[in-house]
Structure 1
Amino acid sequence: MSSMQLPLTRESVLEAHALIKSCIHRTPVFTSTTLSKLASSGDTNINLLFKCENLQKIGAFKIRGATHALARLTDEELQKGVVTHSSGNHAQALALAARESSLVRGFKIPCYVVMPRISTPSKIAAAEGYGAQVVFSGPTSAEREAEVRVVRERTGAVLVPPYDHPHIILGQGTMAVELAEQAEEELGMPLDAIIAPCGGGGMLAGVAVACKGTGIKVFGAEPREGADDAWRGLRDGRRVDSVKSLTIADGLRTPVGFTNWEVISDKNHVSGVYTVSEEEIKLAMKLVVERMKVLIEPSSAVPVAVALYNNEFREEMQKLARGKDVNLGIIISGGNTTIDKIIELFGAKN
């Protein structure tokens, strides 16, 4: 991508938001009395505020980073197209951003996306529907990145990483700007904290940068079984560079990127990362669908599950309360699942 990179500051996030807000949805913030009661304990009342990026364009937050990244590229850089690797949501986001940017720039911007063969069929079809040329790879990050190199050598396309670039990070951080404004101005519930899912870490890093200096604490959430690399990295004091997992939260089967790790490993940005089991992810997803009537994908259920079932996080919220209610923002990162997938997850009786 362009060598001219913005610094990772709250001011840069605000600038990014001003640049892209006409191209994205200002997604709603929902509340749930039932889920808030489940998250509360003892004398501590936790008010959950859900930032519903499942209602964003392409059904996920990724359109924010992709739109911002393309907006920062020159016409010359875009002439040969853009390429990325993604399990689905970033693929759709980049394809749509390229299509919409083509209308603004006045020339066609080719979009190539490398997707694992095990990607959800609906996500593959959606990426192709937005105009992407899909190239398949193996499931690991190393296999995806190797295929991207092949595409770049063949086409000269500009790489737009799914998460590990300042312009992606800043674009994703715009959701935190909106969430904080909506919580205070629309709901009268100023945020105390936000928890977001963590895969490659672009969203978590962006949210953390956006909240720096605001007094809002930021936390991350990961699947415990195989995709808990941020949690393990913080425990061991070093970044984990590979992930092998078939967690149902398929959007989080990715190691934290180098740039994102610098933010996430900084306690001044991210106060902690917490993990949950596959069963807890399923239980949280079921609650959101049945109680809130909101369709989410499993990755979105991970921070909900942490708020409901992770005892260490619940203790952290009690400490944060100090005799008052805690307003906790939860990022619902996307809703790109299918009825068939839901039947597969919940249809079998144990």
Structure 2
Amino acid sequence: MSKDEFAISIDNVRDAHQRIAPHVLRTPSLFSERLSSELGCELFFKAESLQHIGAFKARGAINAVLQLNDADAARGVVTHSSGNHAAALARAAKIRGIKAHIVMPRNSSPTKIASVQSFGIEPIYSEPDSASREAKALEVQSQTGATMVHPYDNANVMAGQGTVALEIIDQVRDAGVVLVPVGGGGLLSGMLVAIKSLRPNIKVIAVEPALADDAARSLQSGERQMPTRYDTIADGLRTSLGELTFPIIRHFLDDILLVGEDDIRAATRELSERVHLVAEPSGAVAFAGLRSNRDRFQGQRVVAVISGGNIDFNGCRLGQP
């Protein structure tokens, strides 16, 4: 597949950046003097945990909803999500003044369920596996006529997520490496298109939980692989790569790192205690990849994307770092 056949281009990301600007925050890329000294690199954190609804998902959801024509918007939107995209779409629908139908796994974080409910929407629950989530969302779509806004395998969503990269390029001059968490690949694919179009010398490295290693297996085999388990603490990264996201990731990605559950827990705690950023485990995965591979990044200017901060402190057992 050539670059011209990818679902999105740099022009789509640039257009999204202008479209969504009134509705999203320009989150900071925070330099950590303390951790930079300890880890031997210049370390910045792109704090999407400070974004509306506490995650980067606010970007893609509003970009998709704003591009609906009036007839489609009147029928509302539907999606399935473990939480952050659910809240993002609920918020986007409220901004546009349309209905949203949100399917969530039964084991979703209470914090993320409450976030959806805060927009006046009661989630529709499904079993936690991807097939059940998708089937329930399709059932709701058939009943309502709503437009499906997939949490990551949607070109407008991908373009919206890619705006994270445009801000990093502007905020962190001469960045050498950007570490990005990967689940379904919406954030990673959007950022890859932006970075490799504008700053191809920047290395983009994905980080994935070892207990949800389908992206690593997909890249190794050359074909999309499905998750084999759903019990990583990084609940937002339990999904498989999408049909639209995988070709972009396969073409542009420089490397992928796997991290264990203890590394994810330690990174989550350290971000809170030493950087004063609240991150959910999925949001801390990129930093976990840096911590557990610190020798690889010596002397480089590194940006770790902290993708979300919606942590359930009652249900999330972080243990000791």
Same fold (TM over 0.5): yes
| Equivalent position amino acid for 1:257 in 2 | G
Q: In the alignment, is the contact (CA less than 8 A) between 1:99 and 1:131 conserved in 2?
A: no
Q: Which runs of 4+ in 1 moved over 6 A?
A: none
Q: 1:7: how far off?
A: 5.1
Is residue 89 of structure 2 the alignment partner of residue 94 of structure 1? Answer: yes
Q: In the alignment, is the contact (CA less than 8 A) between 1:140 and 1:243 conserved in 2?
A: no
Structure 2 residue matching 1:139: 3-state secondary structure: coil
The equivalent residue for 1:43 is none
Q: 1:129: how far off?
A: 1.2
The equivalent residue for 2:290 is 307
Deviations 1:190-210 (A, max 9, x none): 211211100000000011011
Distance in 2 between residues matched to 1:234 and 1:86, nearest whole Å:
24
Q: 1:329 to 1:13 in 2, by over 3 A?
A: same
Is residue 307 of structure 2 the alignment partner of residue 340 of structure 1? Answer: no
The equivalent residue for 2:145 is 156
Q: In the alignment, is the contact (CA less than 8 A) between 2:266 and 2:318 conserved in 1?
A: no
Please tell me whether Structure 1 or Structure 2 has the larger radius of gyration of its CA atoms. 1
The equivalent residue for 2:35 is 35
Distance in 2 between residues matched to 1:69 and 1:286, nearest whole Å:
33
The equivalent residue for 2:221 is 236
Distance in 2 between residues matched to 1:335 and 1:243, nearest whole Å:
26
Q: 1:243 to 1:94 in 2, by over 3 A?
A: farther
- Once the two structures are overlaid, the 10-residue window that deviates more, 114-123 or 242-251, is 242-251
Q: In the alignment, is the contact (CA less than 8 A) between 1:61 and 1:334 conserved in 2?
A: yes
Deviations 1:67-111 (A, max 9, x none): 000111101011111000000000000000000111xxxxxx110
Unaligned stretches of 5+ residues in structure 1: 41-45, 103-108, 185-189, 319-324
Q: 1:38: how far off?
A: 3.7
Q: CA RMSD in A?
A: 1.8
Give the one of 241, 249, 259 matched to 1:264: 249
Structure 2 residue matching 1:21: 3-state secondary structure: helix
Distance in 1 between residues matched to 2:38 and 2:108, nearest whole Å:
33
Kindly tell me the number of residue pairs found equivalent between the two proteins: 315
Is residue 124 of structure 2 the alignment partner of residue 135 of structure 1? Answer: yes
- Once the two structures are overlaid, the 10-residue window that deviates more, 83-92 or 302-311, is 302-311
Is residue 271 of structure 2 the alignment partner of residue 285 of structure 1? Answer: no
The equivalent residue for 1:171 is 160
The equivalent residue for 1:78 is 73
| Equivalent position amino acid for 1:57 in 2 | H
The equivalent residue for 1:209 is 193
Distance in 1 between residues matched to 2:145 and 2:6, nearest whole Å:
24
The equivalent residue for 1:67 is 62
The equivalent residue for 1:223 is 209
Q: 1:33: how far off?
A: 2.2
Q: 1:16: how far off?
A: 0.8
Distance in 1 between residues matched to 2:77 and 2:300, nearest whole Å:
43
Q: 1:49: how far off?
A: 0.9
Normalising by the residue count of structure 1, what TM-score does the alignment of the two structures yield?
0.86
| Equivalent position amino acid for 1:217 in 2 | K
Normalising by the residue count of structure 2, what TM-score does the alignment of the two structures yield?
0.94
Q: 1:298 to 1:176 in 2, by over 3 A?
A: same
Q: 1:310: how far off?
A: 2.9
Q: Percent identity?
A: 41
Unaligned stretches of 5+ residues in structure 2: none
Give the one of 240, 249, 252 matched to 1:255: 240
Deviations 1:98-141 (A, max 9, x none): 00111xxxxxx110010000000111111011133410001111
